[in-house]
C-alpha cells in the first residue's frame, strides 16, 4: 500500500472550512482515511461540536499510544487582508498556505499519516488511539472533554498521549511542552450610588474603589516561579464604566483580569484570594462588589521522565536538535488529557498561527511525520 503523504493530507484538511464549531468536512475526510487503514472510528459529537475517536488494535491492550489534536480553526479576520485564498492550501516557495495550516491541521495530518503507515508496516503489540476534536479554538467544553467522557464510559484508555500543538518558537525541534500554566478570568462589578459630581458627598463613587482594587491585584506578587514554571502573572485587561457625562458620578463600574498561574496555585485558592481582596475594598469604601470567575484550566506538569525522554530522543534523531522542556504559552487541550494519562506536547513552529496568511514549511510537515513515526516505533519497541 502506498505511503500516506502528510502534505497532501494537510492540504485536503486546509480546504475544509472548519471554523469553530463547523466541521467543514475535515473529520469526515480523516475518518475515511483511517477506516481504510483498519482503524475503528466513532464520531463522538456533543452539542454543536464534532469529534472523532479512532483506535487500531484491541480495546484493553496493556499499552496504547495516543495522539490528540484539533481540526477547528480560528476565524479569518478580514478576508481581503489575505494574499491567497484562506482555504486554498496553495503551495508557494515551499510554504503551504491557509487557515489552520500551522494550528494545527499539519500536525493532525502528520500523526494520522504516521499512525496509518506504522500499523500497516509494523503492526504493534498494543493499540494506537487518535482523539481529534472540533472545539479546541472555541469554548472547549464539548471537544476533547466530550471524547474523554465517552472514553471513560466505553473503557477506552490511552497509556500516554502526545498533543500535536505548535510548540517551537523559531525552529523545528526547539521545544516540547511538559506542562501548561493554569488560566482564569475574573470579572468585577463595583456598585456605588449615582449622584451629581458637584455633590460627591451625596453619592458613592465606585471608581476609586475599583481603581484601588485593580492596583492591589496588579501590584501583588503571586510568586517568583518554580523549577519548571515562570512566575505567575495577573493582567488587568479592561476597566469599563460607560459614563459619558462629566457631571454624573456613575452607579457602577466593571473590570476584568486574567491570571496565568503555575503549579504553586489552584483556581480555587486564587478565587478565594480575589473574593477576599474585593471584600477588603468594600469594607474600606462602603461599596458592594460582585465577583464572577471562570477557571479555564489548572496548571499541570508531566514530570521529566520516560515520555519526555522518548519524544526528545525522536526529535533529536530526526532534527539534530534536543528540545527544551517548557511550560510556556497559553492553554491547550493537554489540560484535559492530563487527567486521563501522562501527556506531552510537540508540534511545528508556531510563528504564523492565528495570523493572516498563516503558512507552514512543507519540509516541516514531512519532518513531523517522521518524528511521530519514530516515536511510535520506539514506544512499542520498548
**Grid cell listed for 89:** 492550501
DSSP 140-184: -SSSHHHHHHHHHHHT---SEEEE----BSSSTTSEEESEE-EEE
Task: Give alpha helix (H) positions in the chain.
Answer: 6-14, 26-36, 106-121, 144-154, 206-219, 267-285, 306-319, 334-337, 362-381
**Catalytic machinery residues:** 72, 136
**Residue 365, CA distances (Å) to 60, 216, 224, 292, 300 in order:** 32, 47, 38, 42, 28
d(CA 368, CA 110): 6
Strands 252-261 and 300-301: unpaired
* Maximum distance among all Cα pairs of the chain, rounded to whole angstroms: 84
d(CA 358, CA 309): 31
Is the distance from CB of 77 to CB of 356 less than 8 angstroms? Answer: yes
Amino acid at each position: 500500500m502506498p505511503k500516506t503523504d502528510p502534505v497532501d493530507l494537510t492540504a485536503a484538511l486546509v480546504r475544509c472550512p472548519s471554523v469553530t464549531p463547523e466541521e467543514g468536512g475535515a473529520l469526515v475526510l480523516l475518518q475515511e482515511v483511517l477506516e481504510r487503514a483498519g482503524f475503528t472510528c466513532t464520531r463522538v459529537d456533543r452539542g454543536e461540536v464534532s469529534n472523532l475517536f479512532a483506535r487500531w488494535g484491541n480495546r484493553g491492550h496493556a499499552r496504547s499510544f495516543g495522539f490528540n489534536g484539533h481540526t477547528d480553526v480560528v476565524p479569518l479576520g478580514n478576508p481581503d487582508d489575505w494574499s491567497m485564498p484562506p482555504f486554498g492550501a496553495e503551495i508557494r516557495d515551499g510554504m503551504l498556505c491557509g487557515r489552520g495550516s500551522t494550528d494545527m491541521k499539519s500536525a493532525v495530518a502528520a500523526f494520522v499519516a504516521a499512525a496509518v503507515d506504522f500499523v500497516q508496516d509494523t503492526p504493534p503489540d498494543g493499540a494506537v488511539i487518535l482523539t481529534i476534536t472540533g472545539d479546541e479554538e472555541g469554548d472547549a467544553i464539548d471537544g476533547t472533554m466530550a471524547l474523554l467522557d465517552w472514553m471513560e464510559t466505553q473503557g477506552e484508555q490511552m497509556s500516554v498521549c502526545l498533543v500535536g500543538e505548535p510548540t517551537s518558537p523559531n525552529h523545528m525541534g526547539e521545544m516540547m511542552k511538559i506542562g501548561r500554566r493554569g488560566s482564569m478570568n475574573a470579572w468585577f462589578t463595583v456598585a456605588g450610588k449615582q449622584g451629581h459630581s458637584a455633590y460627591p458627598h451625596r453619592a458613592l463613587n465606585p471608581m476609586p474603589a475599583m481603581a484601588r482594587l485593580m492596583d492591589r491585584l496588579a501590584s501583588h506578587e503571586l510568586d517568583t516561579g518554580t523549577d519548571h514554571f515562570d512566575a505567575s502573572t495577573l493582567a488587568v485587561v479592561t476597566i469599563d464604566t460607560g459614563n459619558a457625562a462629566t457631571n454624573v458620578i456613575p452607579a457602577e463600574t466593571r473590570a476584568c483580569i486574567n491570571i496565568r498561574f503555575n503549579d504553586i496555585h489552584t483556581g480555587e485558592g486564587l478565587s478565594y484570594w480575589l473574593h477576599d481582596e474585593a471584600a477588603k475594598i468594600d469594607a474600606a469604601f462602603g461599596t458592594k462588589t460582585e465577583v464572577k470567575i471562570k477557571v479555564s484550566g489548572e496548571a499541570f506538569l508531566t514530570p521529566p521522565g520516560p515520555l519526555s525522554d522518548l519524544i526528545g530522543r525522536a526529535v533529536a534523531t530526526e532534527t539534530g536538535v534536543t528540545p527544551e522542556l517548557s511550560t510556556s504559552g497559553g492553554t491547550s487541550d493537554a489540560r484535559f488529557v492530563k487527567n486521563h494519562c501522562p501527556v506531552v506536547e510537540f508540534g511545528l513552529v508556531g510563528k504564523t498561527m492565528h495570523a493572516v496568511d498563516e503558512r507552514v514549511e512543507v519540509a516541516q510537515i514531512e519532518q513531523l511525520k517522521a518524528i511521530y513515526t519514530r516515536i511510535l516505533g520506539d514506544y512499542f519497541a520498548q
